[in-house]
Amino acid sequence: MSMQFFYEDGQGHVVDENGVEPMDLVVDEELFAIETISSRTQFLMNKPPERPIHTIVPAVDEKRSEDVAMELFNKRRYTFYSDDEKTRFFHLFFSKCLSASAAARQLGIHVHTAQRWVKCYHKDP
């Protein structure tokens, strides 16, 4: 592998060591646009991701479709249930003889919450 050095001759022409102009030469194309970035936050916003981000969508079972939507929420999020929702839950639980989890799924209430309501009811009716 031979190494060649190219120079500018002062008149805007590129020549090699012997003064011969090269046939095909690309002179320093800028591959990246250079800008002034004023803050680290702005730099991080403009920086492309180091690894491609692939979002994974979990497969949904048809029988668990109501519960899956609740599991995707942040676990720290607290859900307030009104007295009307609790009344409808206990109506299904007692009059329709449904289990706590089945009644909760029908009403869109988290299963563990409904089971806790039943436990508190049996402890102190």
- Asked if 98 and 106 touch (Cβ cutoff 8 Å), the reply is yes
Q: Which DSSP category does 103 fall into?
A: H
- Asked if 12 and 23 touch (Cβ cutoff 8 Å), the reply is no
From first to last of its 125 residues, the chain has per-residue pLDDT tens of: 567 777 787 887 788 777 676 666 555 566 666 666 677 778 777 777 777 766 666 665 555 555 555 555 555 667 888 899 999 999 999 998 889 999 999 999 999 999 999 999 999 87
Residue indicated by tokens 């999020």: 77
- The pTM (predicted TM-score) of the whole model is 0.39
pLDDT at res. 5: 77
